């Protein structure tokens, strides 16, 4: 490994409406090293890599490649600079051959418009052979397994002379054997002088192939250290060790009887043996990494996923959930993660959205009673302090926080006694966040039970009475509010990888 620096990013900042995604972050990459980028969901890893690959434009900061100051303008520009990125979702055309995919858009030609097929296959095969993978350049991509498709992506990046290769959780869907093969390829690329930025949550892998680690937390740079100087505990600490003075206005409610029992619920290939009890007045936090199955669980409890095993009881009665209607009738409301696509109908008014799940309340001999409907909606606008000029304003024109309040009103209006919140404060500004927390306090004070899925540690720790941690579609651990800490949650969430290191 030579010590020459191929990439230096300094004081990189990027903000999105209402969020500072990156705050003066730095990152340095040496030739031939595997540099691990580590952090929780939303720490800023993806944003940083999107800036590097040209998908986002930075607000501030400097990027130096081979000692030249560079403004990366577009993905095409990044490619030209020798930066390749391999996303978790591949960008391959499944119906074309491997070679066609590798050279898509820059096929070698004999005459203008006439592809030089001999050359395209030969060149593609050369690159594949150099990676020591057994793929025929003429094979159709669709017929390849995930691991081999990933290799095609690598080959594509190399054909573009990538000297910096970004790999975003490359092992997420690979088997152990395939991971070994990938590591071999990575080693080989390293020997050839390619610098690799490696994003992964699997600590075990980091110790196997990483040279150095840079940790980000809440959009800020934490530290860069050689892997050999770190233990897993130190890594976890770097990831989560934040100041928890986040003014979360939790008011504990009296915790009452069990309202919901989930017994060994499984969803084919996605959720395994989920069991827990939920009590009145309780906020049950559900933590975990992205892809751990939390949103799937929320949808399942709401009747939007088919349960393959197990049962769900509300007030001691088993509920057969064939559709969201059944769970709404059982008194469950889901505040979805994706407000705009799942929670609201943006082209309908505040009123129409609020009343949608429980129209029967407002129907009088077949017709909607506008007077009662208006009264009810005005009442929610008032109580939840929804900022809207009128109840007839379309939902699309409200701010994120107010949209979220409309979603809440929907379930208040349908008399829900169990609220499932999936990332309740995502994309909401700080002031509105506090309001949402206060509304949650009011709900539990009235005896409502809340399941709150969140990727934000302060939120999980601040609002939950009890915390379940999910990993790989299972419940990996449970912590009481007094017992919980960022480290403990992260350890459960990282799970197996962590145990493997022990």
Partner 1 sequence: MKQFFNNQNLDQIRQFGTFFGLIALCLLFTILSPYFLTTSNLLNVAQQSSIIAVISVGMTFVIITAGIDLSVGSVLAFSGVVMASVLHAGLPIPLGILVGLGVGFSCGLLNGLLVSYGKIPPFIATLGMMSIARGAGLWFTDGRPISGFDDSFRYLATGEIFYVPVPVIIMIVVYIVAHLILTKTKMGRYTYAIGGNEKAAVLSGINIKLYLNIIYGIAGLLSALGAVMLTARLNSAQPIAGIMYELDAIAATVIGGTSLFGGKGTVIGTLIGALIIGVLRNGLNLLGVSSFIQQIVIGSVIIGAILLDTNLKMRKN
Interacting residues toward partner 1 by CB under 8 A: 302, 304, 323-325, 328-329, 334, 336, 341-349, 352, 355-357, 359-360, 363, 366-368, 389, 392-394, 396-397, 410, 414
Residue number, 211 or 300, with CB nearest to partner 1: 300
CB of 122 to partner 1, least distance (A): 43
Residue number, 325 or 446, with CB nearest to partner 1: 325
CB of 394 to partner 1, least distance (A): 5
Residue spans of beta strands (DSSP E) within 17-147 = 19-30, 34-38, 60-65, 68-70, 83-86, 109-111, 114-115
Residue number, 290 or 368, with CB nearest to partner 1: 368
Residue number, 198 or 302, with CB nearest to partner 1: 302
Beta-carbon count within 10 A of 431 CB: 8
Residue number, 104 or 345, with CB nearest to partner 1: 345
CB of 452 to partner 1, least distance (A): 18
The rounded distance, in Å, linking the Cα atoms of 266 and 272 is 5
Residue number, 120 or 332, with CB nearest to partner 1: 332
Residue number, 84 or 303, with CB nearest to partner 1: 303
> How many Å separate Cα 148 from the centre of its chain?
25
CB of 376 to partner 1, least distance (A): 14
Measured distance between the N- and C-terminal CA atoms of the chain, rounded to whole angstroms:
28
- C-beta separation of 441 from 257 below 8 A: no
- 41 CB contacts (<8 Å, ≥6 apart)? 289, 290, 455
- SS3 percent helix, strand, coil of the chain, rounded to 5, is 35, 25, 35
CB of 396 to partner 1, least distance (A): 7
Residue number, 271 or 355, with CB nearest to partner 1: 355
The rounded distance, in Å, linking the Cα atoms of 214 and 413 is 47
CB of 433 to partner 1, least distance (A): 23
CB of 321 to partner 1, least distance (A): 11
Buried b (16+ CB within 10 A) or exposed e, 298-326: bbbbbbbbebeebebbbeeeebebeebee
CB of 333 to partner 1, least distance (A): 10
CB of 357 to partner 1, least distance (A): 5
CA distances from residue 150 to 93, 145, 166, 178, 233 in whole angstroms, order as listed = 13, 9, 12, 10, 31
Residue number, 96 or 346, with CB nearest to partner 1: 346
- 430 CB contacts (<8 Å, ≥6 apart)? none
CB of 336 to partner 1, least distance (A): 7
Residue number, 61 or 324, with CB nearest to partner 1: 324
Closest CA to 494 of 276, 161, 206, 261: 206
Residue number, 302 or 419, with CB nearest to partner 1: 302
Query: Based on the number of CB atoms within 10 Å of its own CB, is 225 exposed (0-12), middle (13-18) or buried (19 or more)?
Result: middle
- 343 CB contacts (<8 Å, ≥6 apart)? 335, 336, 403, 404, 407
CB of 392 to partner 1, least distance (A): 6
Phi, psi dihedrals of residue 399, rounded to the nearest 5°: -75, 165
Buried b (16+ CB within 10 A) or exposed e, 383-413: ebebebeebebbbeebbbbbbbbbbbbbbbb
The rounded distance, in Å, linking the Cα atoms of 384 and 302 is 24
The rounded distance, in Å, linking the Cα atoms of 231 and 203 is 10
């Amino acid at each position: 490994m030579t010590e020459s620096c191929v990439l230096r990013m300094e004081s990189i900042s990027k903000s999105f409406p209402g969020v500072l995604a990156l705050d003066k972050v730095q990152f340095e990459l040496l030739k031939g090293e595997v540099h691990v980028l580590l952090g929780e969901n939303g720490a800023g890893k993806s944003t940083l890599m999107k800036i590097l690959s040209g998908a986002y434009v930075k607000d501030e900061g400097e990027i130096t490649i081979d000692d030249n100051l560079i403004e990366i303008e577009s993905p095409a520009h990044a490619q030209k600079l020798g930066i390749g990125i391999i996303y978790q979702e591949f960008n391959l055309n499944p119906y074309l051959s491997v070679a066609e995919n590798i050279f898509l858009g820059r096929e070698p030609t004999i005459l203008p418009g006439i592809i030089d097929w001999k050359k395209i296959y030969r060149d593609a095969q050369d690159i594949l052979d150099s990676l020591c993978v057994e793929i025929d350049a003429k094979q159709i991509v669709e017929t390849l397994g995930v691991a081999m498709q990933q290799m095609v992506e690598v080959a594509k990046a190399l054909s573009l002379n990538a000297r910096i290769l970004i790999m975003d959780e490359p092992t997420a869907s690979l088997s152990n054997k395939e991971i070994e093969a990938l590591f071999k390829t990575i080693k080989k690329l390293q020997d050839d002088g390619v610098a690799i930025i490696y994003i992964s949550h699997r600590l075990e892998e980091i110790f196997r192939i990483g040279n150095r680690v840079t940790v980000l937390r809440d959009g800020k740079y934490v530290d860069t250290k050689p892997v050999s100087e770190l233990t897993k505990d130190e890594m976890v600490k770097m990831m989560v060790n934040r100041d928890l003075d986040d003014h979360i206005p939790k008011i504990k409610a009296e915790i009452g009887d069990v309202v919901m029992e989930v017994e060994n619920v499984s969803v084919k290939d996605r959720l395994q043996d989920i069991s827990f009890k939920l009590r009145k007045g309780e906020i049950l936090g559900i933590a975990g990494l992205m892809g751990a199955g939390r949103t799937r669980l929320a949808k399942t409890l709401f009747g939007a996923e088919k349960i393959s095993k197990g049962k769900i009881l509300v007030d001691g009665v088993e509920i057969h959930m064939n559709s969201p209607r059944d769970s709404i009738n059982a008194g469950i409301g889901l505040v979805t993660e994706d407000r705009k696509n799942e929670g609201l109908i943006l082209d309908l008014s505040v009123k129409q959205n609020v009343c949608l799940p429980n129209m029967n309340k407002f129907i009088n001999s077949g017709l909607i009673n506008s007077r009662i409907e208006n009264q009810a909606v005005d009442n929610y606008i008032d109580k939840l302090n929804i900022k809207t000029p009128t109840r007839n304003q379309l939902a699309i024109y409200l701010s994120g926080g107010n949209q979220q309040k409309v979603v809440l009103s929907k379930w208040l209006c349908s008399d829900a006694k169990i609220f499932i919140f999936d990332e309740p404060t995502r994309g909401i500004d700080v002031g509105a966040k506090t309001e949402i927390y206060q509304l949650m306090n009011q709900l539990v004070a009235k005896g409502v039970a809340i399941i709150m899925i969140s990727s934000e540690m302060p939120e999980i720790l601040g609002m939950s009475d009890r915390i379940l941690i999910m990993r790989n579609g299972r419940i990996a651990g449970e912590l009481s509010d007094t017992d919980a800490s960022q480290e403990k949650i992260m350890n459960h969430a990282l799970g197996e990888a962590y145990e493997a290191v022990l």
